[in-house]
Amino acid sequence: MSLTPEEFKKALAQYPSGVTVITTRSPSGELTGLTVSAFCSLSLNPPLVLFCLAQHSYNYLLFQEAEGFAVHFLERSQEALSNLFAKAGEDKFDQVSWRSGLRDIPLLEDVVQVLECRITARYPGGDHTIVVGEVEAAHAHKGHPLVYAQGKYRGLH
């Protein structure tokens, strides 16, 4: 017997995850970003992280072409920012404060942490692609992280 996708999603909702926004710039200069909870560290030496990108995502091809990405750990007051980047289609970057980082990738302002990464590998993972990046720079800011569990945003104190 195997789980249905709905049963699997319900089971995973019991596990809290940090809320991140991943941004990139395509080789043609197009900016994109999305809210991701499937993010984790992979290695300390070299410093590697990974995130999982749905192959049906509206910006999948832009991430497939990109050389790097930035990971933004959201602050507990930034639910609106998470919701903005969870939507497909609209230009998000004219609605937020950001600056250019390595490879001119957009870095969001006023988040808890930013990691700037160079893509080192992509692996198939079911209906997702696992994107691995080497962390080249880290920028810490003050704040308490936003988490998501049991279908709700939550803050850590």
C-alpha span between 48 and 134 (Å, rounded): 4
User: Exposed, middle or buried, 21 (CB in 10 Å: 0-12/13-18/19+)?
Assistant: buried
Domain count, the chain: 1
Q: What's the pLDDT tens digit per position in 18-66?
A: 999 999 999 999 999 999 989 999 999 999 999 999 999 989 999 999 9
- For 51-85, give the DSSP string: EEEETT-TTHHHHHH-SEEEEEEPBTT-HHHHHHH
User: Residue 10's pLDDT band (boundaries 50, 70, 90)?
Assistant: confident
Domain that holds residue 96: 5-38+58-116+140-152
Which CATH number is 78's domain given? 2.30.110.10
C-alpha span between 58 and 88 (Å, rounded): 6
Full-model pTM:
0.92
Note whether residue 51 is domain-resident.
no
